[in-house]
Structure 1
Amino acid sequence: MRMVFRWFGAGNDTVLLKHIKQIPGVEGIVWALHDIPAGEIWPVERIMEVKTEAEQYGLTIDVVESVNVHEDIKLGLPSRNKYIDNYKKTIAHLAGAGVKVICYNFMPVFDWTRTDLYREMEDGSTALFYEKAKVDRMDPAELVNNTASDPNLSMPGWEPERLKELSKLFQAYENVSEEDLWNHLAYFLKEIIPVAAEHGIKMAIHPDDPPWSIFGLPRIITNEANIERLLKLVDHPHNGVTLCSGSLGADPKNDISGMIRKFSDRIPFAHIRNVRRYENGDFIETSHRTTDGSVDIYGIVKAYHDMGFNGYARPDHGRHIWDEQCRPGYGLYDRGLGIMYLWGIWDALERRSK
């Protein structure tokens, strides 16, 4: 397991590279050029700037999260070919800088969805929270305002220039079914995977978060059967999945450890985090510790260990603890604690296997 840590860039993150370097076992950053709109080509100069910054602290830039997919590709519009060509050029540019994995998602309109960015927990910490009844009755515009209200920190997947056309986006998806979305994803992958393979990059789709439809929009990367279907769309080692225990873990029907064992050779990148589920469909993000949530983090790490996982992993969203002022879900302290919990499990398994 190769541990990495998400970093949003100089001036766009409260966490500094020198802090990341001090977390035991972390060898690289997970990064992106968040100011470049979906569909545009990532310039080589900008990519190399990040590489230079990271290497000053001995950190790699092997994993990118995310190269966002333009909405026209998801909608299957004739204009998608232009954006797919741009995506191919970005893949080539990233490969030239040594990138090995590109994480992306195929969620219409919204990326991850939460109703409260700082819900207080019993111990006084705060965390990302999803209230099902609120989503069921709220206006999507209200969700956008709540999530992207901080002008100082970009929120990946909630880019203002794209979401200002919210009503038009919803109209565009009115007649797009889940099967249509599958067809559009297949078209994209058939174009992209040969290029990624040529350049030695593995594409790793992120599951939908949460793994069910919201506001009537189609969502398709939600469970084991759908991940299997995805991998068969283009049955190639470079067509893989970012297995996210938090996204998939919001649905109690998902057997995440089972998915790891089944798809281990197609998981180049793992997000490991915990959520506490409630019977009414709500969930809150907890510490990584198994007993604090509803997801068996021990079982997940054991599955990776049993399968000889040597891909990249990162602690996903953490709580906001010790009065840290940070981007929702992406502080230093709780993610640092999460890494040490994951290493503790891994090291114990290593010793037991000898």
Structure 2
Amino acid sequence: MNMPVISFVHETVLLNETVALLLGVANLADLTAPKTGVYVDATFGRGGHSRLLLNHLGDDSTLIVFDKDPQAIQVAQELAKADGRVKVVHDSFAHLQKNLTKLGMQQVDGIMADLGVSSPQLDDGSRGFSFMRDGVVDMRMDTSRGQSVGEWLKTVDETTLADVLYEYGEERHSRRIARAIKSMESYHSTLELAEVIKQAHPAWQKGKHPATQSFQAMRIFINNELGDVKQFLDETLTALKAGGILAVISFHSLEDRIIKQFLNNHSRGRHDGDDKLPLPPARPKYFGKPYRIAPTDDEIKSNPRARSAYLRGAKRLDEQADQ
């Protein structure tokens, strides 16, 4: 049985900039004709980037959209019914190459991804992502499988929980907060969990809820977000054609650091750790010079969730550059 799709407003971040970068132009107004090719939206969400991209693709093009969220997939399937160029994959973008192969695709002309949690997921209290709305303590991107945060908190030990809060949320008071969280046997309410964290937190930044970093950490951990990002990026090396473009939006420093290091290492011809050697060995250069684009002041004013966003991307070099 289909899940009900609740309507929430979602304002797509860096919309024009992402699609323009993916299509290899400075501005979409520079396009004189529709592009032809095979493209991937690795995080469909509610389809903001996909819909704009489709407006600039020819009739013989293909757009493959991925998402782990069943509600997002329902929206994608409706789009696919209306537009035969769209193919839908309900899976993590970490399994990019496997799913492309299933679809009979070896390489594509462009890949974009908008990382992190979406506005509809945050605004729907029943998903458990928000400490501002009451709901079950879930936080899974894919509600059809896996363990919820509430289930995980029942079994995780205090030390492991503290390590997760510190590593994925950069929470300085992780041990104190973990002790408070484990003082209760279970949590059925996000507001209840947020209040426990608030009471345990000795000090927090003005204008920032004390549960912000802890909720972020638990969400990232339960969804294996950083591991998926790393695997996804590695798979783009073989999934992109020569001249194909990668464009990725991130919203916090942990993701952005992974993307930045990946593009820098593969555009300089070095891998992680090579710079620790006296004479770094020569490595294949897979990407050209990386791009970094931030939202404009006007976009941040109209959509505060864009304030921490960065768009990074680069063009896949031709095969001769790999030698």
- Give the alignment's TM-score, normalised by structure 1: 0.31
Question: Larger Cα Rg: Structure 1 or Structure 2?
Answer: 2
- Give the alignment's TM-score, normalised by structure 2: 0.33
